[in-house]
Structure 1
């Protein structure tokens, strides 16, 4: 697309009402597709603008050598070829848009039209080809899914097509000419305007997504960024072509590379392969557009052409959403599709799903999906294999099915390829390599465009994957289930030297999707289509309810291992050095997990400076583990200052946690119950404390409570007890027992908790709401006990000041005192004798939070922060 004279531009803009070309803009995939068009006009307004200019541009500017040409484009029909829905509507819409324009109209596709689709078992390429003939395109490009039926079938469906299939840069190695059934280019002349089409593919759409060894078949893939511009230049220089349209089955990023490599000969690039919603916009003076996939959109470009200069001078364009366009389905297209559907019994119910089955690309490429679990469970069951894996690209339709009846057509829509079930034998090391072959790192080109990906679904195996270039290994902590998919799991650590039966599909077994399986020993080849395997698995089941089970755990950051002991009482507190890139935590995502993904959620997560503290309920953790030593995993998400995520919202951390259960040693008695009761009233509840504080004025009752009586037994009397205070202001050196002056008449004390040296909570005291006023300047203070470590004597709390408070410089002190004699709970009369062991003082502004730790062993000198 080259520049022309200002006079010519003005003529076309004024008379034809065409907007001038604009620079490329960022793609907004969240915008409403029905209303987003070039320049921001609404769809209804754009429809009027298009129709109002029809017939005027050619007549008014003909003497100046200008014409208006309309280009209609589509891409990646795929599974829509098997449904009586958007594809018949697309046929009708193309016919109506042709009729709406008086100027020349051309139609072209950007590849992946004849596959994959669920009618493949009964029609292969025949159903989509028959419907495409009704649509009457001027050209289409060979995409990777045009090879779904094998290289030999390309010449068959191209012979049945009433339009040319292009493969400009995929050529016969011996002659340099187009390979059998394809053309290098196509030239269409309409009303004196010559439009040239070229068809381009890249490595990812050939070698990367098919099992065909093109070199062995005598076919060479030439560089599309070199061959495309060179062919376009030749068409304009030697064939007097006015407009060159590149049908590029490459994806948008590669189309932008093509535009940047071109010197103005390529005017439009209609894109397929990555299936993005990409309304027309310019890159390097070339218009690029893509209409998602599955006949959901029709692209429409009105091009103002200078036939004297063989160039496009301006354009306007949009994407029209098929199912909201108001057109009816084309009856002939519907008849073709429904005829094949009847032969394939696609409308028969096979089961009922109580949950939505997620067959979307976004989920299946990036993480575990419940539908991926169902598919691989069926594969493992049918093959009686240890493990089953399927590639993410093998699950199609990009839809969600259910809750409700699931039909055979639904299964074939999601598994439309002619892939069959194959079982291979792999060592544990080879299994890890196969899993690792699908990890897409965040730092890679694909990762920068689409985010971290695991790109597969699995059954019978659990593992962690680390999607970063510097990770070694990227697949770790692998477990294999020794039992079948419908039996209680028996997870065993992977033995890299042992052999495992692994069920895969035939595409993968032949090395597809870069799986290193081509030379693997084949145990069995069922010849059964993968869709049939799943249908056979579902039919005996009246209902299914597959879940996400933690089979593939993403890990961006690894923390040092931690240990914990538990006796069923109190809290389990895990302390870590915080990741250097951590800016905030998503507390609700932190869990401890067993190898089979039984989990318990954290009660509290606190990150402060270089520390990360995660607290769990002791009794809840006890339910996860057996007596003795157990291995658990900590997982949690956090905001990162280092990673810029594309798909995921946050970084995910992991730490190995070894838990020793001493419940049997601790015994079952009142001590544990008392500890729980004390903890329930330890002031860590973020309420106003009024229930605990109702007896605040009778504080002697705290010392005479049931906790105190229980705490005075012989077992406890020989164990030190401590009082932990949170108070406003500086540390209180001498507590005193004067009721009238105790803690400054309660003007400063916020919370007091007493614990034994083993961490057992024996009593608590909180000041009623409203009794602490002036020293806090009206600020609401939240304080929450994170935990007490009996081994180190460290007690940790978080203290926070409310965000909306109009205050600053709130001083809070956490102090630890040793109780005198045999006291195990606070007794006011003994306050004079309590020894101050350690304290930390913090000053907070509104919205601030601080993690505060003091040492009750008294090893550290008292200090102020």
Structure 2
């Protein structure tokens, strides 16, 4: 997952958007042998089964209602989800994504592909979720290295018939998943373009009239894919959390946003003749609002999970005397009071010289008001169940780690380093890899040859979020013996209210 702001729809469609594109036949006057309409419904980056934004938007029960409505006009409409749904949320931290599979089963999702968060709980949990699914998993580039086949029960492509029009669905996931998720280290990720060329060609040989790619990667990568593999007619993407669209050649690229606040509807009007074909594409974003009634069966399922969660998460864990700001524009960009608190607790628990936390490990993307804090509030902030480790690093290694954390500052990337026990000044205008201006550890300038103990997440120890330099570190306390990140805050709350502050440990060069 990555939140972006480019090309966002600032006013989310007072009327649904409608665009048309066409792939002309080789001979416009050629007789038509087959024609038909293909209706696709699209979601991506869906983390909650319940509505979001205080119940005003999204929710699987409303998606189910919309699907039923559309089915009256298009009974063979196919609902697809372009990755990221098993994690990370508070509910997923408890049920490990099983609630999402149950919800998607109830709605009647047809096809999904892997996002980078499908492996957050490890490969075995992913396999179990796949076995529970009544929908098909498609992946053209995520392989089990022991078999060379798509991971689990996924297939490299699916061919579906829409009234005589054959549509192939291929699927591609960013290889960065091996860095972005702690549970995907042993999987093989083929280059998306290489995999797409091979699978699209196989789909055409299987007599596919249209090729649709489900993708979970950056828009820039989707554009590259469209340019490199023109056999793909339509890309239904994910990974970004804003509605985005683009067109490269004759290939349309669509992303619906996140959390089912929109449902994408795409209608392909396909005509096939002896000398070519014509594909006219109409699409719209349907806002999913409180005006849409919830389908009773799905709403009941959602309420059952909420009830199971309530007893575990509603208990008061403590209090905060100040608001807790975990918005991405804070924790992934600059010094964060919440980041300071987490890093300080990690450093203290591990008796380390310093601590390092990636901003992407701090979730919620919201401001929790001052007042009582429930266990659920804490798990919204730290839903990944990260174990804390203690490493021995040199000053040079620590510098390299910090430079990595700052290398994508302009992209609001999750690798941004929140710290304790050290202070640093950085210049975001300098090239990546040379943004650190100064670093002190324990109040003294960092010595490149000195050895320091560092508390950090198990995820980062394994090279997650680009912190590959930490894979070279000596392990002083392994994950098996380290505490859980959320437990540190829960234990601290038992001692009294928290009041995290910014103290200037991270500064931007003037």
CA distance in structure 1 between the partners assigned to 2:434 and 2:216 by the alignment? 34
Q: TM-score, normalised by structure 1?
A: 0.52
Deviation track 1:504-535 (CA, whole Å, cap 9, x = no partner) reads 11111222112222232333344432122222
**Deviation at 1:502?**
2.0
Q: TM-score, normalised by structure 2?
A: 0.85
Question: Against the structure 1 CA distance between its residues 27 and 451, is the aligned structure 2 distance closer, same or farther, given a 3 Å change threshold?
Answer: closer
1:113 to 2:85 alignment? yes
2:367 corresponding residue in structure 1: 400
Question: Against the structure 1 CA distance between its residues 291 and 69, is the aligned structure 2 distance closer, same or farther, given a 3 Å change threshold?
Answer: same
2:25 corresponding residue in structure 1: none
1:461 to 2:422 alignment? yes
1:208 corresponding residue in structure 2: 179
Deviation track 1:259-315 (CA, whole Å, cap 9, x = no partner) reads 11122x32221111232321x442221121112223332222122122547856222
Counterpart pick for 1:474 among 432, 435, 458: 435
Q: Contact 2:415–2:465 (CA<8 Å) still a contact in 1?
A: no
2:473 corresponding residue in structure 1: 520
**Deviation at 1:194?**
2.7
Counterpart pick for 2:191 among 193, 202, 223: 223
Work out the number of aligned pairs and report it: 487
1:67 corresponding residue in structure 2: 36
Question: Against the structure 1 CA distance between its residues 181 and 383, is the aligned structure 2 distance closer, same or farther, given a 3 Å change threshold?
Answer: same
Q: Contact 1:377–1:388 (CA<8 Å) still a contact in 2?
A: yes
Which stretches in structure 2 are left out of the alignment for 5+ residues? 21-30
1:299 to 2:280 alignment? no
2:24 corresponding residue in structure 1: none
Counterpart pick for 2:333 among 360, 366, 381: 366
CA distance in structure 1 between the partners assigned to 2:262 and 2:373 by the alignment? 26
Alignment partner of 2:406: what SS?
coil
1:554 to 2:508 alignment? yes
Question: Against the structure 1 CA distance between its residues 36 and 409, is the aligned structure 2 distance closer, same or farther, given a 3 Å change threshold?
Answer: farther
1:572-591 aligned at under 5 Å gives the runs none
**Deviation at 1:160?**
1.0
Q: Contact 2:240–2:255 (CA<8 Å) still a contact in 1?
A: no
CA distance in structure 2 between the partners assigned to 1:277 and 1:548 by the alignment? 33
* Larger gyration radius, structure 1 or structure 2: 1
Question: Against the structure 1 CA distance between its residues 528 and 132, is the aligned structure 2 distance closer, same or farther, given a 3 Å change threshold?
Answer: farther
Deviation track 1:531-578 (CA, whole Å, cap 9, x = no partner) reads 222222234333x333333322223xxxxxxxxxxxxxxxxxxxxxxx
Alignment RMSD (CA, Å): 3.1
1:320 to 2:299 alignment? no
Q: Contact 2:142–2:173 (CA<8 Å) still a contact in 1?
A: yes
Deviation track 1:442-468 (CA, whole Å, cap 9, x = no partner) reads 7xxxx4xx3798712122221012335
Counterpart pick for 1:274 among 229, 237, 240: 240
Q: Bigger CA drift: 368-377 or 95-104? A: 95-104
**Deviation at 1:376?**
1.9
Question: Against the structure 1 CA distance between its residues 315 and 165, is the aligned structure 2 distance closer, same or farther, given a 3 Å change threshold?
Answer: same
Which stretches in structure 1 are left out of the alignment for 5+ residues? 1-25, 42-61, 482-490, 556-652, 654-865
Question: Against the structure 1 CA distance between its residues 521 and 451, is the aligned structure 2 distance closer, same or farther, given a 3 Å change threshold?
Answer: closer
Deviation track 1:186-208 (CA, whole Å, cap 9, x = no partner) reads 2222433333211101222x223
CA distance in structure 1 between the partners assigned to 2:414 and 2:381 by the alignment? 20
Counterpart pick for 2:463 among 511, 532, 539: 511
1:177-192 aligned at under 5 Å gives the runs 177-192=149-164
CA distance in structure 1 between the partners assigned to 2:486 and 2:48 by the alignment? 14
Q: Contact 1:93–1:322 (CA<8 Å) still a contact in 2?
A: no
1:101 to 2:67 alignment? no
1:698 corresponding residue in structure 2: none
Question: Against the structure 1 CA distance between its residues 388 and 175, is the aligned structure 2 distance closer, same or farther, given a 3 Å change threshold?
Answer: closer
1:533 corresponding residue in structure 2: 488
Question: Against the structure 1 CA distance between its residues 307 and 177, is the aligned structure 2 distance closer, same or farther, given a 3 Å change threshold?
Answer: farther
**Deviation at 1:36?**
6.5
